[in-house]
Structures are given as structure tokens and as C-alpha cells.
């Protein structure tokens, strides 16, 4: 009787332990990222030129120990450092779909960033080079020339979007006036005008890996130089 009881106890303990391990393993698997909304069709969208071919780093400069191409996206991980276009841009409309792979929750360090109107970093360095930055998907901004945040006019309140999901951002930037507008998933969220546009300059566009503790991805990157329309084409 005692042997039978002991056998039952040991069997229960083993089953409980196995269940706990299975649950822990299951909970540690990253949640899938929700896809972005479809873009509305337009003639402007058809004219836009891909900056990223989804297969190679052609047209980009980066530390290849940090950046690679994975599943059709620029994949940044390992340590701090940006990836920059080889060409320079002044006035443009930019479309980019991006997500933070990890961490899954919004943090102060593990965020996305699009950089423009700064210098080209010195060879072998991948810093922010005095650029202006916007942060998808919530629309915060930072001026790396003065290393301070700037306060854009917020068109709508913060939407509480998850960094871990895919979001498509449209950035409309005019170097002459210093004006920046940004829409995310078809909704205009911010407008900004630089107080002294003469300080701005034509420069590379960069995708940011803000923290070595995070993993980020950017894909479907398209550009229209010298936009013909002063409107956001993704806003319905």
C-alpha cells in the first residue's frame, strides 16, 4: 500500500514538473507581430522608388556585424549602430514598415528611429551624426545636433500602438522650410517645423538601432524625392 501511494506521489510530482516546464517554454515564445494595414492605392505610391530590395544591403552602409537581411527586412541586432543610405536626400516622402522584435513591450531604449538631415558618419562609425529623428510608431522626435528632444504638434493623442507589431510610417520632409509631417497606419499623428532650417542639410537617411538590448526590423522602404503633392498619401 505504501509503495503504491509513493508511486502515485512521484508520478504526480513528475507530471506537475513537466507541465510547469512546458508552460514556461510556451510562455517564452515571442508573440507574432500583427501585420500593418494595407496601403491605399495611388499614382504617387506607384511612382515611389524602393530604397531596399528586401534581399541584400545594396544601397546601404552599415556594420554588417550588426545589420543583415532576414525574411525581407533590414534586421538590426547585436550592438548599437545605424544603417544609412548611400545617397543623400533633401525633400522627400518616405514610406517604411517597421517593428521592434524584442523587447515586446514599449521601453525607453528599445525603440525605432528614422534619421535624416544630418551628416554622414565618419568611415567605420555608425552614430547619429547630428540628424533629426522621428520615432515610429508613436511620433516622438529628437534632434541629435543639440542632443535634445523636440516637441512636434501632436495631431491626435498617442494611440498606444505596440512596438512589436508592424506599422507603416509615412514621413513628408521639406528641407527648405524645415517642415516634417508623419502618418502611421493611415493616420496623421504629428507635424513639426524646425526653428532654424538654415542649420539643416541634405544627408543620408538612416534606420536606427537605438539599443544593443533590442532587435529591430525595417522593410518595404520607398521614397519619392521632391514630392509633387504636399499631402500624406497614406491618410484616407
pLDDT tens string for the chain (236 positions)? 434 443 433 344 434 333 333 333 333 356 889 999 999 999 999 999 999 999 999 999 999 999 999 999 999 997 889 999 999 999 999 999 999 998 876 666 678 999 999 999 998 889 999 999 999 999 999 999 999 999 999 999 988 899 999 999 999 999 999 999 999 999 999 999 999 999 999 999 999 998 878 899 999 999 999 998 899 999 98
Three-class HEC string of the chain: CHHHHHHHHHHHHHHHHHHHHHHHHHHHCCCCCCCCCCCCCCHHHHHCEECCCCCCCCCEECCCCCEEEECCEEEECCCCCCEEECCCECCEEEEEEEEEEECCCCCCCCCCCEEECCCCCCCCCCCCCCCEEEECCCCEEEECCCCEEECCEECCCCCCCCCCCCEEEEEEEECCCCEEEEEECCEEEEEEECCCHHHCCCECCEECCCCCCCEEEEEEEEEEECCCCCCCCCCC
Look up residue 16 and give its three cell numbers: 506537475
Total-model pTM: 0.85
Looking at residue 80, what is its pLDDT?
82
Looking at residue 1, what is its pLDDT?
44
Instruction: State the Cα–Cα distance between residues 131 and 73, nearest whole angstrom.
Output: 23
Task: Please state the φ and ψ torsions of residue 47, each to the nearest 5 degrees.
Answer: -80, -20
Ordered domains of the chain (ranges, CATH): 50-225 (2.60.120.560)
Looking at residue 78, what is its pLDDT?
78
In DSSP terms, 50 is beta-bridged to 222
Amino acid at each position: 500500500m505504501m509503495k503504491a501511494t509513493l508511486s502515485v506521489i512521484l508520478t504526480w510530482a513528475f507530471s506537475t514538473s513537466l507541465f510547469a516546464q512546458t508552460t514556461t517554454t510556451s510562455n517564452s515564445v515571442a508573440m507574432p507581430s500583427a501585420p500593418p494595414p494595407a496601403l491605399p492605392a495611388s499614382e504617387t505610391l506607384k511612382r515611389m522608388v524602393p530604397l531596399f530590395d528586401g534581399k541584400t544591403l545594396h544601397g546601404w552602409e552599415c556594420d554588417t556585424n550588426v545589420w543583415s537581411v532576414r525574411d525581407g527586412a533590414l534586421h538590426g541586432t547585436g550592438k548599437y549602430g545605424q544603417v544609412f543610405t548611400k545617397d543623400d536626400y533633401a525633400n522627400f516622402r518616405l514610406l517604411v514598415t517597421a517593428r521592434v522584435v524584442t523587447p515586446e513591450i514599449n521601453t525607453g531604449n528599445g525603440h525605432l528611429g528614422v534619421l535624416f538631415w544630418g551628416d554622414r558618419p565618419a568611415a567605420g562609425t555608425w552614430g547619429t551624426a547630428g540628424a533629426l529623428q522621428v520615432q515610429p510608431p508613436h511620433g516622438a522626435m529628437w534632434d541629435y545636433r543639440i542632443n535634445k528632444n523636440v516637441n512636434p504638434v501632436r495631431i491626435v493623442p498617442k494611440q498606444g500602438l505596440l512596438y512589436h507589431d508592424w506599422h507603416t510610417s509615412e514621413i513628408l520632409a521639406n528641407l527648405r522650410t524645415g517642415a516634417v509631417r508623419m502618418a502611421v497606419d493611415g493616420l496623421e499623428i504629428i507635424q513639426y517645423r524646425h526653428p532654424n532650417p538654415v542649420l539643416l542639410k541634405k544627408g543620408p537617411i538612416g534606420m536606427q538601432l537605438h539599443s544593443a538590448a533590442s532587435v529591430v526590423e525595417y522593410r518595404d522602404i520607398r521614397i519619392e524625392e521632391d514630392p509633387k503633392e504636399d499631402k500624406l498619401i497614406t491618410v484616407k
